């Protein structure tokens, strides 16, 4: 049997998709491979076909317990002997399965990483394991966005398998750094990476708008379409869910605070189109295979671009045009700050998370193509997509270097100890008491932007903060500091551009007298 005949006879497909054949050939030649393919790219076949061509067992490590049974059932339907071992089984079921495995009747064994403690490995060590496939392999890396300690134990245990199996690691999201980490930990030299670009997805950033209004209008305009709305907290999920429900949207909700039964029922409502919109935290989606999701809206900014791309990527798996929209508000960045602060990470871990979050702000404020911005983060190149909100924004770039310098120098003169509100008030020459109290009306930057509205100046500060010229730090009311990049602007070494977000000012009435 060749891989091609198996593809046709067992799976009913005529051709391999990009990258699949390369991975299969490498594995059959005993070469370890890291496979980076977008969601829906067809990663499973990359190990399922070699599994059938190898003499022994293929161990598939997957964190998606809910999906395991479906995958095993699908394989069994195709007469491919497969089984799974995870926490849903009781002891006697486990024992039965091991017996079947020992008898050499199984080709693919799916296991969850949590299950793979040392004891389980002692049992596995008695099996002729030829291939180990590690799904969602980014979970191995501390640089990945979904690091799981159980994956680290796994890599150590794998080394103890006497059969010295070939290893394939698979993921849809790996920055060059994460890819290096995975390869190093698993002893992999080869990498097969297919294009990250999702050419049916239109990315969109919507800044500083009334999210509720936006969501209601959007859902109304796309009434019959399936979509997911992500929020950062359970509370916000509940709030948005009730808002949409009140407006007669067929909506379901999903978060970690619901019972297992409720989550299953709600998920099914969405999968089987009884609810068109799912409002959820990031607990929803891993392993959900709903192909006709037309939009993914992030009501609140997620913690990293990896998480964003993975969640947004759940739109349009059927290849039809779909939208991925980020509703960006600085207040939501503060929520992510809070979540990082509260997490059990060590200081270095928190620092990494803050850096990832900062990148989300840059994504929201970049004026280059959004798809290109994402691709370059993952170490890929791409041409401007022509579909995203930046590509479609035809406004001319304006040089805002001078205004930027005014803002930055004002922040410096206020000794970098205040937030954006007061900085904006000083710049527009406000008379509020605090300004007198600190004698900021004596600063040379006081009133430097007279005539602009305070709101417009705050908008500019937000833009400069998110774009990295200013840094905001500290709890609920962050204080502003000029960044290294900002200093270059002050020294005249950097120009700053922005497609003006301000409404054009009215031209003065013509005096026709």
Q: Under a CB-based contact definition with an 8 Å cutoff, are residues 276 and 264 in contact?
A: no
Question: SS3 of 297, please?
Answer: strand
**Which CB, 42 or 478, lies closer to ligand ADP?**
42
Q: Under a CB-based contact definition with an 8 Å cutoff, are residues 99 and 92 in contact?
A: no
As measured in angstroms, the least distance from the Cβ of 184 to ligand ADP is: 23
As measured in angstroms, the least distance from the Cβ of 47 to ligand ADP is: 10
**Which CB, 294 or 317, lies closer to ligand ADP?**
317
Instruction: Pick the piece of the chain touching ligand ADP (CB under 6 A) from 13-21, 267-275, 356-364, 372-380.
Output: 13-21
As measured in angstroms, the least distance from the Cβ of 39 to ligand ADP is: 4
Q: Which residues, including other chains, have CB under 8 Å from residue 39's CB and lie 6 or more apart?
A: 172, 310, 313, 314, 317
Conformation bin of residue 19: beta by default, left when phi > 0, alpha when psi is -120 to 50: left
Binding residues among 28-87 for ligand ADP as defined by CB under 6 A: 37, 39-45
Residue nearest to ligand ADP (CB): 42
**Which CB, 45 or 174, lies closer to ligand ADP?**
45
Looking up tokens 């379901």 gives 252
**Which CB, 15 or 495, lies closer to ligand ADP?**
15
CB atoms within 10 A of CB 362: 14
Nearest of 288, 435, 321 to residue 387 by alpha carbon: 321
Nearest of 433, 46, 40 to residue 200 by alpha carbon: 40
**Which CB, 145 or 498, lies closer to ligand ADP?**
145
Looking up tokens 């930990």 gives 185
Task: Give the tokens for residue 287.
Answer: 């392993």
Binding residues among 314-343 for ligand ADP as defined by CB under 6 A: none
As measured in angstroms, the least distance from the Cβ of 212 to ligand ADP is: 33
Can you tell me the distance from the alpha carbon of 214 to that of 54, in angstroms, rounded to the nearest whole number?
A: 53
**By the rule CB under 6 A, 17 interacts with ligand ADP:** yes
**Which CB, 4 or 208, lies closer to ligand ADP?**
4
As measured in angstroms, the least distance from the Cβ of 427 to ligand ADP is: 50
As measured in angstroms, the least distance from the Cβ of 46 to ligand ADP is: 8
As measured in angstroms, the least distance from the Cβ of 16 to ligand ADP is: 5
As measured in angstroms, the least distance from the Cβ of 69 to ligand ADP is: 15
Nearest of 488, 469, 414, 465 to residue 444 by alpha carbon: 414
Can you tell me the distance from the alpha carbon of 328 to that of 138, in angstroms, rounded to the nearest whole number?
A: 26
Q: Which residues, including other chains, have CB under 8 Å from residue 46's CB and lie 6 or more apart?
A: 19, 20, 23, 24, 27, 35, 133, 168, 170
**By the rule CB under 6 A, 10 interacts with ligand ADP:** no
Can you tell me the distance from the alpha carbon of 326 to that of 102, in angstroms, rounded to the nearest whole number?
A: 50
Instruction: Pick the piece of the chain touching ligand ADP (CB under 6 A) from 8-16, 121-129, 137-145, 189-197.
Output: 8-16
**By the rule CB under 6 A, 195 interacts with ligand ADP:** no
Nearest of 144, 57, 146, 43 to residue 109 by alpha carbon: 57
Task: Tell me, by CB under 6 A, how many residues bind ligand ADP.
Answer: 13
**Which CB, 42 or 81, lies closer to ligand ADP?**
42
As measured in angstroms, the least distance from the Cβ of 448 to ligand ADP is: 53
Q: Catalog residues that contact ligand ADP under the rule CB under 6 A.
A: 13, 15-17, 20, 37, 39-45
């Amino acid at each position: 049997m060749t891989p091609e005949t198996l593809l046709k006879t067992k799976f009913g497909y005529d051709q391999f998709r990009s990258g699949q054949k390369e991975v299969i050939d490498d594995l059959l030649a005993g070469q370890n491979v890291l496979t980076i393919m977008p969601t829906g790219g067809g990663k499973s076949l990359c190990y399922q076909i070699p599994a059938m061509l190898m003499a022994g067992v293929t161990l598939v490590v997957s964190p998606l317990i809910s999906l395991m049974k479906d995958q095993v059932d699908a394989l069994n339907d195709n007469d491919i002997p497969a089984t799974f071992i995870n926490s849903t089984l009781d002891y006697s079921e486990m024992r039965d399965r091991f017996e079947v495995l020992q008898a050499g009747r199984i080709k693919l064994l799916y296991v969850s990483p949590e299950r793979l403690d040392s004891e389980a490995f002692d049992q596995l060590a008695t099996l002729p394991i030829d291939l180990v496939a590690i799904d969602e392999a980014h979970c191995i890396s501390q640089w990945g966005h979904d690091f799981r300690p159980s994956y680290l134990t796994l890599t150590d245990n794998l080394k103890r398998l006497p059969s010295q199996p070939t290893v394939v690691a698979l993921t849809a999201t790996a920055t060059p750094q994460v890819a290096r980490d995975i390869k190093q930990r698993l002893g992999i030299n080869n990498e097969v990476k297919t294009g990250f670009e999702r050419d049916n997805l239109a990315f969109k950033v919507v800044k500083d708008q009334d999210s509720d209004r936006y969501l209601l209008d959007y859902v109304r305009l796309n009434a019959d379409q399936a979509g997911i709305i992500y929020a950062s907290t359970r509370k916000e999920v509940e709030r948005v869910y009730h808002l949409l429900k009140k407006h007669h949207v067929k909506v379901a909700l999903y978060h970690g605070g619901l019972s297992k039964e409720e989550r299953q029922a709600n998920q099914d409502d969405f999968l089987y189109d009884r609810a068109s919109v799912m409002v959820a935290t990031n607990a929803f989606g891993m392993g959900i295979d709903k192909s006709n999701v037309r939009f993914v809206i992030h009501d609140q900014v997620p913690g990293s671009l990896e998480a964003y791309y993975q969640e947004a990527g759940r739109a349009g798996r059927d290849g039809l045009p779909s939208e991925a929209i980020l509703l960006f508000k600085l207040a939501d960045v503060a929520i992510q700050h809070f979540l990082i602060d509260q997490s059990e990470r060590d200081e270095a871990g928190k620092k990494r998370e803050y850096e990832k979050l900062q990148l989300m702000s840059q994504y929201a404020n970049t004026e280059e193509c959004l798809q290109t911005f994402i691709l370059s983060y993952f170490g890929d190149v791409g041409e401007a997509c022509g579909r995203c909100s930046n590509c479609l924004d035809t406004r001319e770039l304006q040089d805002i270097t001078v205004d930027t310098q005014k803002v930055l120098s004002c922040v410096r003169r206020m000794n970098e100890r205040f937030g954006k509100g007061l900085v904006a008030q000083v710049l527009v020459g406000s008379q509020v008491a605090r300004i007198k109290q600190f004698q900021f009306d004596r600063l040379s930057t006081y009133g430097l932007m007279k005539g602009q509205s305070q709101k417009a100046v705050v908008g500019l500060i937000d833009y400069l903060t998110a774009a990295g010229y200013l840094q905001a730090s500290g709890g609920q009311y962050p204080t502003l500091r000029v960044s290294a990049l900002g200093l270059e602007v002050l020294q005249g070494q950097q120009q700053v551009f922005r497609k003006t977000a301000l409404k054009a000012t009215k031209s003065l009435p013509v005096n026709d007298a």
